[in-house]
Structure 1
């Protein structure tokens, strides 16, 4: 069983570190964040070795599952310019919230649906991430934005999501929970059977209130989670941020600086 660290790192809206020699660069644009509270016991078996469900203070013992849809823009390696076509696509991911024995908070991806086949193949082969090839669109008209996704390969074929938001006012002072759900400065995964932590940095999230005017999905069930029993407890929108990923660290190692 993974063990909870004695002292998780503080939740900070601003990045705790810089990445002067990035492994990857990219931008995340037009993001929809949908979140449901879940029992930590339900998600613990789905996390990589060495991690445990992250539970926010005052969260009444719950952790969260997120459905996040957005536009990936210009993935680049090292300091090379981002790739305009192959590195630009729509994506929808299902993610959990994790903390490791070093106290590092992060996310764990249960699935990443993306509309560009070559990045899907690279993500699966190189980073061992659960990317899947899907047909996806992100359409905006005024303050209304619609995200659609339908899975192609490797399946289950037809797994889908549809999110329709009306973008509201800018949040000047996000709540502690809103910071917990968005200000995540790393990713936990396993590479060749060994726990791995991949740090990232980006400017503080510009967050907006959002009204969920329509949604349907079965990506959570396809990712091994219970289907939501009701509407999400948190719905947010962000126009996006530029992101830099640092070098990965193995379990027991500090994050590269």
Structure 2
């Protein structure tokens, strides 16, 4: 007898440990769904669900093991029923059961569903069993049509998202012609104003000497008289006459 009681205690301890693991996993998932619903992803949710499923599988293996007397052969009877608040019971159940009264015992110790729920379930099962084959096939066809329509909508939306993802996200904001004109203006001086007297261009832009020498249109002499190699004849004559005239005359 003591051996059976010891095995029963070991079995109950293993069941309680597994139930605590399941409770902790469920509480963690509920906490994440309530506080991390904006950042939680599908793989994380599946991992939490797989953890709960693993704990349930372990609990099933423990209950189906041959350690001691199977729990299904045991009967649980209340030793004391009272409508008054029971503090040890409240602490043992983590605040879920404050009293162990006559009204609550049938709900906590029942081994079958509620009679009302059981009767409604039986009604639905009978209705499903009496359903004609032709009516059932029509309902299945209608359900399949709805699922196919939803699938088409989802597939079309997926194709649109994929096509939008393949397109460049930023529209083109440059012009190749303008880029080439800018490069020609910086490198060759194309399109810039001709430098006037004093080396200042008419447009207010100073052209570097290297560009002035490379571009025939913008190349000028240091004196600002005109293009290189094309000195006006009037200036030459004035210079010659100035050399011939005596400074004190």
Which structure has greater strand proportion? 1
TM range (shorter): under 0.3
Structure of higher RCO (CA pairs closer than 8 Å, 6+ residues apart): 1
Structure showing greater Rg: 2
Q: TM-score, normalised by structure 2?
A: 0.18
